[in-house]
A and B are shown apart, each in its own frame.
Chain A
Amino acid sequence: MILFFQITLYIWMTLVILAAFLWAPLAGGLGEYTRIFYFHVPVAWLAVLSFLISAVYSLRYIRSRQIKTDLVAEAANRLGLIFAFLATVSGSIWAKVSWGAFWNWDPRETSIFILLLIYAAYFALRSALDQPERKAMLSSVYSILAFVTVPFFVFIIPRIYASLHPDPLINPQGKIHLEVRMLITFISSLAGFTALYFWILVRNINLIELKLNLRKTEK
């Protein structure tokens, strides 16, 4: 079953890459750089999804006090930070060719930068605490509070201030203005990346279970 999922995902993502480069049309004004959209946006979406999953598991830890839920929240935050970093770097490469500089302190760049700092502080907090229960409790509370800022930084602030960033997929009128082939490629990419994300998260949970089992046997 797992092998079937892996092979399907492999074929799916190959088709997405081929569609992004060979099938989907280019947007006027962006030219070849349109293709970045099929990879940069899903990666940014995974960062938000990851931070949400982390907040949910942090809440579960506060309710159940099971150390495994805190470790899953930590793994989700790590994944979120990795995807946010990938989105930032890929975005800044695009900014260089499009706007002339890698970094312009555009509202979207500034908000993702603050978000990166907020979630990097989560790991600083964890590494500063020794006692496992205290570490888990404080970082769970921090993770939930950090997630409260995510909608503001990702969805609200970039829409309030004038930005050089291309219009978000769902524009202020609440409509999607995308050519059908572009939309199909984009949704396929989003679905593929999301499936890949859950695969990585499950691998992380496997790793956590192994670590906890080892800890038990060592005791």
Chain B
Amino acid sequence: MAPLYIVLVVVVFIWSGIFGYMLHLDRQIRSLRENQKKIAQAGVKLK
């Protein structure tokens, strides 16, 4: 394989690792915020 392709593989690998983790983090935050909103709405209804 040509050297430049190998370099590209390494760079894409590093960036996909970082972005993959960031996406996972964002998904978790979004789901927790939704849960928080649901709990708050349930609390308002109970009152």
Contacts and interface: CB of A to CB of B under 8 A. Distances in A.
A43 B16 CA distance: 13
Contacts of A207: 25, 28-29, 32
Contact of A203 (B22, B35, B39, B40): B22
A31 B22 CA distance: 32
Interface in A94-127: 94, 97
Given A40-B10, A211-B32, 5 more contacts: A20-B11, A33-B7, A39-B14, A204-B25, A214-B32
Contact of B13 (A17, A86, A204): A86
Nearest to A40: B10
Interface of B: 2-4, 6-7, 9-11, 13-14, 17-18, 21-22, 25-26, 28-29, 32-33, 35-36, 39-40, 43
A146 interface: no
Interface of A: 17, 20, 31-33, 35-36, 39-40, 43, 79, 82, 85-86, 89-90, 93-94, 97, 196, 200, 203-204, 206-207, 210-211, 213-214, 217-218
A12 B16 CA distance: 18
B10 A31 contact: no
Chain B interface mostly: helix
Contacts of B3: 31-33, 97
B38 to A, nearest CB: 10
B32 A33 contact: no
Nearest to A78: B21
Given A32-B3, A82-B17, A86-B17, A210 B10 contact: no
Contacts of B32: 207, 210-211, 214
A33 B8 CA distance: 10
A86 B33 contact: no
Contacts of B36: 210, 213-214, 217
A137 to B, nearest CB: 26
A203 B25 contact: yes
Nearest to B9: A93
Contact of B10 (A82, A90, A204, A213): A90
